[in-house]
Structures are given as C-alpha cells and as structure tokens.
Structure 1
Amino acid sequence: MEKTEIITGRLPKIFVHYVSLNVLSMIGMSCYILADTVFVAGGVGNSGLAALNLVLPAYSFINGAGLMLGMGGATRYAVLRGEGRDAAADRVFTQALALGAAIGCVLTLTGFFFTPALARLLGAEGAILQLSVRYLRTILLFSCAFMINNILVCFIRNDGSPQLSMAAMLTGSFSNIVLDYVFIFPMGMGMFGAALATGLAPVLSMLVLSLHFIRRQNHFRPVACRPKIRTVQEILATGLPSFVTEFSSGIIILLFNFTILRLSGTVGVAAYGVISNIALIAVAVFTGIAQGIQPIISVNYGAEKTERVWWAYGAAILLGVISGLLFLVFGLLAAEDIVGIFNREGDMEMTRIASAGIHLYFMAFLFMGANIVTTSFFASINRPGPSFAVSILRGLAAVVVFLLVLPPALGMDGVWLTIPAAELTTLFISGILLYRARLENKKIH
C-alpha cells in the first residue's frame, strides 16, 4: 500500500488491512514461546516449564531491543517519507541496521562466555540451572538474527508491504512449532531442541523478507553515511517505549518468579509460567493493533492529516477494549481446561494455583489494550515523553509498587491482582496525558 493511499484512501479499509495483518503476525510470533511451553511441558516436564519461565526475561530483552530499533527507526522513516524526505529516511534505516548488528554481536558474545552466571542471576539453581543454561545459551547465539529480523519486519511494514511482514513472521512462527515437535520428541533434543527451533525462526523469517528486495519493491536501502548522534537518539527515543513494553514484561516475570518462589515454590512458578504464556496471546493481539495503526498515524501525522490520526487511534482503542473483554470471558469460562493443556503430569496443586490465577490476572486485559495502543499512539506522533511515561508505568513502576504491597497482604491472590491494579492505574494516568496533549494543541503539531 503506497504512502498516498494511506493519506487519501478509505480509512476504515486501511485500518482493517494493517491491523488485521499485524494482529495475525503478532499472534504467530507469540507462538514462539507458547509452542515451547507446550512441548517442553510434554517432553521435559514441570522442571523444564519452570526453567523456561526463568529465562524468558533474557528473550524479552533480545526481542525488546530489536523492536526498539525496528519501531523507532521505522516510525522515523514513515514520518520522514510523509514529509517527502526520502534521503533522510534511508539514513535512518542504515543506522538502525548498524545498531542492531552491533547489539546482536554483544549478546552473542554474552552467550558464549557468561550464560551460567546469567542463568543464576535469573534465579535458576540445581537441576533447573542446567536446563536453563542449555536454553539460554542457544537463544543468545541467535541474537543477531532476532535483532535484524525485527528491524526488517518493521521497516517493510512501513514501506507499504504489511502482507509480506505478516507472511515472514508467520513463516518463522509456524516453522518454530514444527521444529519444536521434531527436535523435542522424535529427535529427543529436550531444552536445546526447543531453543534451536526458536532461534531458527527469525532466520527463516528473513528469507521471506528478502523477497521485498529481490522484487525491487523497497523504497529504502542502506546508504553510505556517517553515524549521527542525533539520528541515533531519535531512533532510540522513539523506539524506547516498545523496548520498555517488551523488556519490562521480562523483568516482571523475573520479579514474579522470585515472589512466587517464596509463596508457593517451583509449582507456583510453573503455574505462573502457564498464565504468563497464555497472556502472551492477549498481549500479541493488543500489540498487533498498536503496531498496525503506527504506519497509518505516522504517515498521516507527517502529512498533517489530523482527523485521520485521531480516527485511527479511536478505532484502535475500541478494538482493544472489546478484545480484552473477550479474553477475560474466555479465562473465566475455561480456566481449568487451559491449565490442563500444560499440566501433563496432572499436578492438582498446579491446577488449583493456575486456575485461581487466571480468574484474577485476566481482569488486566480490560485495560491493557487501551494502554498499549496509547503508548504506540504517542510514539507514532513523535511524542516519546508521554509514550515512555505510559510504557514505564504499566510495564514496571506500577507493577513493582503493587507487587510490594499486595502479595504480603493477600498472598498468591495479591500476586495475581498486581497486573490488573497496575493496568487500571496506568489507564487513569494515560487518560490525563492524552487530555493534556489535546488541550495543548488540537492539531497535535
């Protein structure tokens, strides 16, 4: 879809086109971890499930760093193209790609030399330590692939090819599921097999993305240019909310793991692993909506089409709230059935803890969609300050506060209520920030 169509075409059709493709892409991407969880639970058992949940923060960091550069760079790219500054847009792509390669190399070296220490830092010990190291080292060795793939997906989506971005992400995700099964069961590769399947997914995704260049459909390309601190700062500032949203989920998993270990032990951590992985699907839908509106808002913002910007934002909020309500109803009606998919050992204590957790934790979805969409909205109109404030509040600050207050008072119920309380608080604050933004200038600029 060309830039001119985004600016002048029928907005409902464009909205459905971009959002639907991105929601499907993100759901497919969330299958990375969900497939690992199901197959690890069946092939390795609850110890493998606990180990997987302990190392998820590292994966969140890698994915978050890639999204930061991809979303930050691609948002700047879309705004510059909307303004007609194509040469500057190419320089943004070049520097985002160089940053991604550099960060990927550092993470790869970390995988070679520091994996055991990192696994211990994440809370792994005993038999779980060995399983965690095996998974974590493999994931870190594929860091460059994760980084570059995320960057290309975001840029190609903003270059008028959301279908190809979706196809690439789904190819990676579904190949991950197939390889998970093959590596864990017929080949008996255990945790290493699960990690290898996940690591190969972005490689296969990039093969699909290469069609954008082979067919010469790309409007961006690497160019010879000197690194500019200002460009790097713009990329990082615009993309930082995406990093905070992704990485903070890993930090929160880490904090939850430590809290639950004290309250319910390894069984509680395994139960939380079930809930956090199911929550990935909901977050994927909300993130897909948020990423889907980003090109629409950024290009129209650059072209000063204010009414179209606000229409896209409002439609995304409505869709996010409806989706959250559906997820909550599903959780209330099918909690034990959901847990049964992962609890292959038939542990009744795990079923009890996880089912109770789903009933309380899933209330967060009523507010989460609106918060994630608002974070993307502020970033898409070049307002990194409010975007960062919303993302850091819902992703870390409010969660830490409620995690310190609620579990001591309510036990495990307090753990499960932490996220709903944090999301509700964030919704209130984001509403204030949005109201102030409209008061400051109704034309956004």
Structure 2
Amino acid sequence: MEQSALKNYTKYVSLNILGMMGLSCYILADTFFVSMALGAAGLAALNFSIGIYSLVHGTGLMIGIGGATRYSILKSQNEGKQINAIFTTSLKLGILLGVLFAITGVLGSGSLAVLLGADAATLPLTKEYLSTILYFAPFFILNNIMLAFVRNDNNPKLSMIAMLTGSLSNIVLDYIFMFPLGMGMFGAAFATGLAPVISLVVLSAHFIQGKSGLRWLRSRVQWKAVRDILGLGLAAFITEVSSAIVLITFNLVILGLEGNLGVASYGIVANIALVGISVFTGIAQGIQPLISKAYGSGEGITIKKLLRYAVITSLALASAIYTLVFFCSDQMINVFNSEQNPAIALLARDGLRIYFAGFFFAGINIIVCMYLSAAERGLNAFIVSVARGCVVLVPMVLMLSRILGMTGVWLAFVVTEGLVSVLGLILVFWKKRTEFLHW
C-alpha cells in the first residue's frame, strides 16, 4: 500500500507541478515582454491588473476544485447518477460568472483601474490590459473547470499538457503581438487571453477520444449542487484571491512609500513569486483527487501518507527555491528591469531575499487548505484561507510598513504565512468525534 500511495502521489504531483509552473508563466511572460516594450510604467500598470486576473483565475479554481472534489468522492462511493449533474452544473456556473466578468470589462474597466491605484501615467495601460483580460474571463474560468475534471477523471497527463501548451503559446504570442506587430499592452493581454482557449482545445481530446465518463446533461441548474460546489471550492478561491488582495494592498502601501518605481519593483518580486507559489499549488492540486478518493473510501492511513509526502516535498522545494533566489536575485531582476533602473534593482533585491523566506510556510498552508477542502472540512479550510488573505496579512502590511518601511512590507508576507501555518496545523490535528482520521 505504501508503494502504491507513493507511486500515485509522484505521478499526480509531478504532472501538476509542471502544469502549474507552465500556467504561472502566463503573467511572467507578460511581465518580461511588457518591461521590454513599455518600461517601468508598463510594469506598474501590469502589476495593478494582476489582482483582477487572480480574481478571475480563483473563480475558475473554486468551481473546478469544488466540482471535481465532489466528483471524486461520488465516484469512490459508486454514486454514478450524480456525477454528470455535478459536471454540468459546474460548467453552467462557470459560464454565468465568466459572462458577468466580461460585462464588467466592457462597462467598468476604467473605474476599476483607478480603484486599483492607477494614476495619470499608468491609467491608459492598466485600463487596456484589464478590459482585454476580462473579455476572456469565460475562457479562463472554463479552462480551470475542465483542467480539474479531466485531472480527476484519471487523465492528469492531458491536464498537464494542456496547461503547458497554453503557457508556451502565450509566450510565443506575447512576442509576436508586442514586437513584430507592435500591439503594445493590448497585445500582451490578448496573448494571455488566447492561452486558455488553446488549452481548452487540447482538453477536448479527452472527450473526443471517448476516454471520459463525463457527459453534459440537459437540465436546470441544481442550486443545491451549486452551494456544494462553492462550499468545497471556497478555500481554493480564497487562496487564489488572497494573491489579489496581497497585490492590491502591497501596491497601495508601496505607492505611498516609493511611488511607481516601488510598485514596479514589487511587480518583479510578485511575478517571480507566482512561479514559486505555483509549485506548491501543483503539489496541493496533485494530492486533491487522491485525498478525495481516499476520504470517500474511508482510507485514513492513505491520507496520512499523502500529507506526509506533500509536506516533505514542499519543504524541500522551498529550500531549493530560496537558495536559487538568494544567490541569483540580481540576474532575475535584470531580466525584468529593462531600463536597468538602480532604484528598482535595489528595492527588488531586498524584496526577493526577504519575501521568499515566507515560502517555507506558504507551501504548508496551501497544502493544508487543499487537504481540508478535499476531506469536506470546508469551514476550517476557509478559516486558513481568509487568515492568509485578509485577517492577518492586511494588518501586518499596514503595521510593519509604518515601523520598518519597505522592509516591513516584505516581512509582512513572511510573518503572516508563519502565523497561519501554526493555525493550519492546529486545525489539521484538531480531533472531531465524527472524524474517521486518527492521528
């Protein structure tokens, strides 16, 4: 059983880490090409916009992870009749919310850009990027839903291929649209928006080849199922949206401390951090179908093993990432600091070396959130997610920035993740009389 659990863990986690790293390159590629084409103003505008991208991405994750979690539990319990109802409801909900985001892009992108902190120098670029990304919101959301269901339908390899294909196409299209075609900020956003469309085309192979048991049902939306999906996926949403809250809060605080150059330096740190966080998200999404299946079958020992593997992997990768960032920070910054601005370079170097220390705790927190959701402990997962995204982080940023300036801003992430990891571990080991899992 030990060998089987480790084999499945290695397969699902490795594929998901690769896929999530590819997915994170959506924004990283934009950061590189925008910095080359538009300089510090473009970099700041992009950073103002990423929070909304995280909100859209998180909505897709919430529906996808929530629906796929219920799918795996029902499948392990041989509840075949409800599986396609969950799948169909997830898709309908994704389309509805995606259309609402798109309408927001048409009617309110300018007001949204101002609300996020854009000024006269960055407003046109921020508005252009935001409106384009929001037009493609239905595809971002549907892509995340399909990735989760295909992964949980015993095809993690195709999910990984779809994520990587979408990401690579984004990099290629970014270059083509921004340089040979000279499409500027719109080109960067358009390339990013086409990436999930291409990914969905790849995922369609799962259904065309007849490998899937998932079917679209012609039925009304089941609101009970909607509540179930959103409840199970809420932690994934909060985890992703916490990134948006972090970005918005940091942007506004840094704008007051260091102006647009400070925001540009944070843009470099935040976008490199996206790749690091994607590694931990890959671990968490990799264990989700395995934990949901084990939970539905009552296999507590298997869940313990999976969690142990995940935490060990997270700490090992956090050590490797921090070592790389500490010793190669200047080289990383130079890639995105196209104007070779010394102020941006100095701020970003300090930021990388302090901020990334939080990864030792962030990986554990992301894994804990996914475990609690997959084991139907949605309230506990919600508590951990909200603590990371709002309850602890925002006061820490405001307090530490007043005391220590920019150093305090960077430290806020580290302190928050450290405190939340203690809370998360307490919740994991907290025994409930109805809990089948004995530690």
Q: Do they superpose with TM above 0.5?
A: yes
Cα pair distance change 1:443/1:366, threshold 3 Å: closer
1:274 is matched with which residue?
A: 268
Q: Is 1:310 aligned to 2:304, yes or no? A: yes
Q: Equivalents in 2 of 1:78, 1:8: separation in Å?
A: 21
1:325 is matched with which residue?
A: 319
Aligned with residue 146 of structure 2, among 148, 152, 162? 152
2:124 is matched with which residue?
A: 130
Aligned with residue 205 of structure 1, among 199, 206, 214? 199
Residue deviations 1:296-330 (CA, integer Å, cap 9, x gap): 11011111111111111110011011111111111
Q: Equivalents in 2 of 1:162, 1:182: separation in Å?
A: 30
Cα pair distance change 1:167/1:149, threshold 3 Å: same
Give the aligned residue type for 1:159. D
1:121 is matched with which residue?
A: 115
1:383 is matched with which residue?
A: 377
Deviation at 1:437, TM superposition (A): 3.5
Residue deviations 1:113-133 (CA, integer Å, cap 9, x gap): 111111111111213100011
Give the aligned residue type for 2:170. N
Contact kept? 2:298, 2:436, Cα under 8 Å = no
Secondary structure in 2 aligned to 1:114? Answer: helix
Q: Is 1:48 aligned to 2:42, yes or no? A: yes
Deviation at 1:331, TM superposition (A): 1.7
Unaligned runs of 5+ in 2: none
Contact kept? 1:35, 1:180, Cα under 8 Å = yes
Greater alpha carbon shift after TM alignment, 201-210 vs 220-229: 220-229
1:191 is matched with which residue?
A: 185
2:335 is matched with which residue?
A: 341
TM score, norm. by length of structure 1? 0.96
Q: Is 1:58 aligned to 2:52, yes or no? A: yes
Greater alpha carbon shift after TM alignment, 123-132 vs 172-181: 123-132
Q: Equivalents in 2 of 1:437, 1:369: separation in Å?
A: 23
Deviation at 1:442, TM superposition (A): 4.9
1:4 is matched with which residue?
A: none
Give the aligned residue type for 2:113. A
1:139 is matched with which residue?
A: 133
1:261 is matched with which residue?
A: 255
Q: Equivalents in 2 of 1:431, 1:144: separation in Å?
A: 36
Q: Is 1:25 aligned to 2:19, yes or no? A: yes
Supply the RMSD in Å over aligned alpha carbons: 1.5
Unaligned runs of 5+ in 1: 1-6
2:92 is matched with which residue?
A: 98
Deviation at 1:443, TM superposition (A): 2.7
The 4+ residue runs of structure 1 with deviation greater than 6 A are: none
Deviation at 1:439, TM superposition (A): 7.5
Contact kept? 1:438, 1:444, Cα under 8 Å = no
Contact kept? 1:89, 1:220, Cα under 8 Å = yes
Secondary structure in 1 aligned to 2:117? Answer: coil
Residue deviations 1:135-163 (CA, integer Å, cap 9, x gap): 11111111111111110000000000000
Q: Equivalents in 1 of 2:289, 2:360: separation in Å?
A: 25
Cα pair distance change 1:12/1:423, threshold 3 Å: same
Residue deviations 1:167-217 (CA, integer Å, cap 9, x gap): 111110000000001111111111000000000000000000000010011
Deviation at 1:8, TM superposition (A): 10
Deviation at 1:9, TM superposition (A): 7.8
Q: Equivalents in 2 of 1:439, 1:317: separation in Å?
A: 25
Contact kept? 1:343, 1:350, Cα under 8 Å = yes
Q: What is the aligned-residue identity percentage? A: 43
Q: Equivalents in 2 of 1:98, 1:8: separation in Å?
A: 39
TM score, norm. by length of structure 2? 0.98
1:109 is matched with which residue?
A: 103
Contact kept? 2:314, 2:363, Cα under 8 Å = yes
1:76 is matched with which residue?
A: 70
Q: Is 1:358 aligned to 2:352, yes or no? A: yes
